[in-house]
Chain A
Amino acid sequence: MSKFGKGVAMLATAAVLACGTLASAQGTLRVGMTAADIPLTTGQTDQGGEGMRFMGYTVYDSLIEWDLTSADKASTLIPGLATEWSVADDQVTWTFKLRDGVTFHDGAPFTAEDVVWNIDKLLDDGSEQYDPRQSAQGKSRIPAVASYKVIDPLTVEITTKEPDATLPYQMTWVLMSSRANWEALDKDWEKVALTPSGTGPWKLETFVPRERAELVPNPDYWDETRIPKLDKMVLIPLPEPNARAAALLSGQVDWIEAPAPDTIPAMEGNGFVISSNAYPHNWTWHLSRLEGSPWNDIRVRKAANLAIDREGMMPLLGGLMVPAKGFLPASSNWFGNPEFEVKYDLDAAKALMEEAGFGPDNRLTVKALMSPSGSGQMLPLPMNEYIQQSLAEIWIDVEFSVVEWNQMINLWRAGAADAAVDGAQSINFTYFIQDPFTGLIRHLDCGLIAPNGTNWGHYCDDEMQELFAKIKTTFDPEEQTKVLQATHEKYVNDALFLFVTHDVAPRAMKPSVKGFVQAQNWYQNFSGITIEE
């Protein structure tokens, strides 16, 4: 070949290589999280929904997962490491068929033994692999589980304490870590934290506590549609909202979670993209139903719900909210068709208050618990002041008892009757409402009255109790949806909460971030994201 020919060939090779590089290299996504630390990396994550979002369903899988492919419809359950599951006629024995050919990041095969080993990790404090930190996060998520065993390498049997059709939802919480990796690392969870191994679409490459975690794609992931296109995703804890905004605006990160509403106009003005969507979160006043509480009167509850101009609240949040029409977002499959319409109607509200015996000369005073900040609380100070002003128009005077967020959680766990609550008749608490238990049952179940559970207001109603029982004993998904809808309809028709708003999980990103579909879920799929040069 002539020199010229060789030169052309070399140039052509270089061009092909360059194109190849461009085609496969899809960039690095640097994410500013709201968490103050990297979520627990060993399997069961901490740091709430954000922990599961970034360190749960990225590095790990569960038997059953959430469909995160659509922004237009509510997420439903889909097969994960289990391809199918069914319950026997006794309604307590469940069989999970496992996906064949799945391997952990360390190369070990995933089998039924691993499922049992991982559940033991959470529930059996006598087992070698029992980890108190993971147990603290995971045990309360699977209250139905009584026992479990291996049937064959690809079949697991789980028995529940009583018939409980919500088990599939509970199993979405249990993330599968590699036993082989744990054994190779001297059976030491602290070592596993630095080099964890799951079956998920991302592998943890670098971990600097409190500073950063670097995830790289798992090219052998069992679901080809979820093999990440990015070269790397870097997670950076940035708990301070101004620091988060500055990091994005100065180009140190490409994406931030929960931008402060007052920074959004500046971000949009600078070409940044704000992504948001409805998801199963709500911002309510959970009402006390103890004897003597003014909220025992349905007319007062309905009047309060009709007195709030939710649309008028939107500017406070830069438009990033969904005005509540009930306890669940109207887009939820379980919303149903309630008769009581949650809307702003001051005249109707006043009429109800007058009917209940209140008026300008006979005002009602209520005491309300709130915190000045907190995870998922949005902007509690101005929002609660807005409600205070709204309720004053229907002769309800609100006295706030303001406590710090950590203490607020304790008061929520303690319940309305606890002395520490100091007679407050409501608590402004935001909720993760993604599954039947967290979404509906735990708030109003007679058996979960605080401090045994999180029925803060001590509500107990036979009809509601029957609905909860029916949710657990209705195994057909379509029929179960109907029961869930009926339950939610009762929530709304009886105005059991002060329904205010739903968060929309805003996140701000550079315009070069492409391919993100924000699912109506607390968790998200990062695999389809690319960075456009």
Chain B
Amino acid sequence: MLSYLIRRIILVLPVAFGVSIICFLLVQIAPGDPLTAIMPVDATAEEQAAMRAAYGLDKPLPVQYGIWIANLAQGDMGKSIATGRPVAAEVFGAVKNSLLLAVSAAVIAFPIGVFLGFLAGYFRDTWVDRAVTAASITGVSLPNYWLGIVLVIIFSVNLGWLPSMGAGPGGSQDWKWNWVHMRHLVLPAVTLSVVPIGIVARTVRALAGDILTQDFVQALYAKGMTRLDVLYHVARNAAATALSVMGLQLGYLLGGSILIETVFNWPGSGFLLSNAIFQRDLPLLQGTILVLALLFVAMNLIVDVVQAAIDPRIQRT
């Protein structure tokens, strides 16, 4: 197990390096100018050139990359061009908020998805299966941006039960685990959970349905096991694949909530990324993408390790 873990960690390094190059180059390719965010639109060409030099944007791209990666290796992600604040503080503060949102959505989505998936798999080709399948497809197909707006209209504007935006009184830095703050999390987390509910339910349904038709299940029944004991074995067999899907979903939730965070004004990494894109804030953009990509890689690594722990056959591959 240890050698497997070391092997996987070593493989992460070239992936991280590749991610750093790709995210650096991608943000450079996009048209636009980071100076737009920090200078009046009618600043003269001379003033723009001076500012470009001050931020090192006049240097050739390989040099800019070299400086960036050298600073990164020393733990310095640079400063945001638009705000002047350290990128690391901006990104990690936002990622912490996104993590809160993503984990909340996962806590809602995964149990519901697993339960519905098992239900559909167990009652395959019955009305229960068809109802769960219809609900899953609807969940996966609904644009969550639209769903978020609808939930806001119903629960914030019309009923006035839940707030529509922000991370609570005092902002995210004053976050507390009490209802005054947690109520701000409800609508974005529910909105964000709808797609993974559908995906997890469909995956688990397929797995459960497939496993239930295998010979060993008949053998378990023949041995006199109860239905509940058999289901435990089915769940254990499905767990490795289901966990892999859930791990990926958690990764998507972390990095893929730009629209939800925008609709709910949630101060997370998606909201940060969206502002950085519009402002062409290159250091912030590079830093955010890199951190999110590495989080995704880390999530995959954790899933692989957990999978290997559940199913020792995986370690041998």
Contact = CB atoms under 8 A, between A and B. Distances in A.
Asked whether A and B interact, the reply is yes
Contacts of B170: 206, 208, 212
B293 interface: no
A133 B84 contact: yes
B275 A413 contact: no
Contact of B39 (A137, A212, A250): A137
Interface stretch (A241-249, A282-290, A327-335, A493-501): A241-249
A52 B153 CA distance: 32
B80 to A, nearest CB: 10
Contacts of A46: 37-38, 82
Q: Bin the interface of chain B by size.
A: 35 or more
Contacts of A83: none
A208 B173 contact: yes
Interface of B: 31-33, 35-45, 47-48, 51, 54, 82-85, 90, 149, 152-153, 156-157, 160, 163-167, 170-173, 262-265, 267, 271-272, 275, 278-280
Nearest to A189: B84
Contacts of A141: 40
B131 to A, nearest CB: 32
Contacts of A452: 44-45
A59 B195 CA distance: 45
Given A132-B51, A410-B32, A37 B83 contact: yes
A237 B33 CA distance: 23
B38 A133 contact: yes
B290 to A, nearest CB: 19
Contacts of B272: 210
A398 to B, nearest CB: 23
A413 B271 CA distance: 28
Given A210-B267, A243-B164, A410-B31, A250 B45 contact: no
Contact of A139 (B47, B263, B278): B47
B278 A240 contact: no
A139 B32 CA distance: 22
B284 to A, nearest CB: 11
B42 A246 contact: no
A250 B149 contact: no
B92 to A, nearest CB: 13
A30 B153 CA distance: 20
Interface residues of A, number: 50
Interface stretch (A92-100, A107-115, A377-385, A401-409): A401-409
B164 A247 contact: yes
Interface in A399-436: 403-407, 409-410, 412-413
A409 B33 contact: yes
B31 A236 contact: no
Nearest to B262: A240
A239 B42 CA distance: 23
Interface in A46-66: 46, 48
A190 interface: yes
A452 B45 CA distance: 5
A409 B157 contact: no
Interface of A: 36-37, 40, 46, 48, 132-133, 136-137, 139-141, 143, 189-190, 193, 206, 208-212, 236-240, 242-243, 246-247, 249-252, 403-407, 409-410, 412-413, 438, 442, 451-454
B171 A190 contact: no
Given A140-B44, A252-B164, A406 B172 contact: no
Given A132-B54, A252-B166, A406 B279 contact: yes
B42 A438 contact: yes
A136 B41 contact: no
A453 B44 contact: yes
Contacts of B42: 140, 413, 438, 442, 453-454
B267 A250 contact: no
Contacts of A206: 170
Contacts of B31: 403-404, 406-407, 410
A451 B40 CA distance: 15
A179 B26 CA distance: 42
A317 to B, nearest CB: 22
10 contacts: A133-B84, A143-B44, A211-B166, A240-B265, A243-B262, A243-B264, A249-B156, A252-B163, A442-B42, A454-B41
A413 B41 contact: yes
Contacts of A453: 42, 44
Q: Which of B44, B163, B170 has the most CB of A within 10 A?
A: B44
Contacts of B54: 132
A211 B172 contact: yes
A406 B33 contact: yes
A137 B35 CA distance: 11
A140 B165 CA distance: 37
Contact of A250 (B36, B51, B164, B167): B164
B267 A136 contact: no
Among B31, B40, B84, B275, max chain A CB count under 10 A is at B40
Given A247-B265, A252-B164, A407-B31, A140 B172 contact: no
B157 A140 contact: no
Given A133-B38, A438-B42, A404 B32 contact: yes
A443 B37 CA distance: 21
Given A46-B38, A409-B36, A246 B44 contact: no
